[in-house]
Amino acid sequence: MSDKKLNPKLHESELEQIATRDGYGEGLVTLGEKNKDVVVLTGDLSASTRAKKFQDKFPERFIEVGVAEQNMMGIAAGLALSGKIPFVSSYAVFVPGRCWDQLRVSVCYSNVNVKVAGAHAGISVGPDGATHQALEDIASVRVLPNIALVVPCDVNEAKKTTIAAAEREGPFYFRFSREKTPVITKEDTPFKVGRAETFKEGSDVTIVACGPLVYQSLIAAAELEKENISAKVINNHTIKPIDKLALASAAKETGAMVTVEEAQINGGLGGAVAEVLVESYPVPMERVGMPDTFGESGKPEELLEKYGMSVKKIKEAVNSVIKRKVKK
């Protein structure tokens, strides 16, 4: 992808920062204006999830369920069966966390048109601690048949994801962060569910990232260039259906791969990419993510550093995997 499709201030300190959840709220309002069948539900978290933007403008299509996430998923399934396009909004530890069974049976097994938005995902929830840091949701959702799973990299992509979810028939899950994160894309940056986007070309290694850590991956790649390491960076926002062709092609081009995600490395993006490569074009691979442990309270940047998801750790993973490359 041409750099012209990314924020021209990508490597500048004044890069604007906005939480991805704000893109969800903006996307809901856009959808509400275009489609009268869009309805939004929440479990007493309209302000935090930014669903309140829709609530304020379309109160007749907003349902406050209260702290009853399992009931909320069932209600959403019923609304979908009646022709509506329901968006279920909550923290990712609650949705899908507390209602995985209802998501599995009422939504995915029934293959109904429910959209599930999991906010406050990842370790960067920070001070809220382990109970509110959704790190297992990618793994637990992607095994469910019929559902799409997207992790937008910034506020613009979050808005695009929200709109795309309504346009795509069937179950859909997407996760957002709470903290403000760098805005690295523009309104005209290409986005399509199921298609990975190359944000930087490279020849020595491929960094495959999702969510806000796409930014850290780009910064790591820029620093690696100064060390004569050419890193290709792929924004793999769609975990399911994953872009097998793009991943296999990148593996052939660079011969080594590093995955980066703000989630458990077991079963998450890293697991999904590894499955693709094993079946198509195996290459040495390293995974950057939550290392099979629960988090703790702290500042987001401190937690990313402690649990190995910083720019420094991404660079270390790149250097490690390059040493294992098969020499041609």
Enumerate the active-site residues. Answer: 69
Extract the tokens encoding 271. Answer: 């697991």
Q: Give the closest residue to 43 by CA, choosing from 123, 97, 108.
A: 97
- Beta strand extents in the chain (DSSP E only): 17-19, 38-42, 62-64, 85-91, 115-119, 148-150, 172-175, 180-182, 197-200, 205-209, 231-235, 238-240, 257-264, 285-290
3-state secondary structure of 301: helix
Q: Cα–Cα distance between 91 and 94 in angstroms, integer?
A: 5
| 3-class SS shares of the chain: helix, strand, coil, % to 5 | 45, 20, 35
Separation in Å, CA 108 to CA 73, 179, 222, 264: 11, 30, 41, 23
Contact 181, 150 (CB under 8 A): no
- Supply the Cα-derived Rg of the chain in whole angstroms: 19
Let me know if 208 is exposed, middle or buried by CB neighbors in 10 A (0-12, 13-18, 19+).
buried
Neighbours of 115 (CB within 10 A): 28
Separation in Å, CA 110 to CA 50, 85, 104, 147, 168: 28, 15, 8, 11, 16
Q: Give the closest residue to 113 by CA, choosing from 144, 79, 138, 62.
A: 79
Looking at this protein, which amino acid is placed at residue 51? A
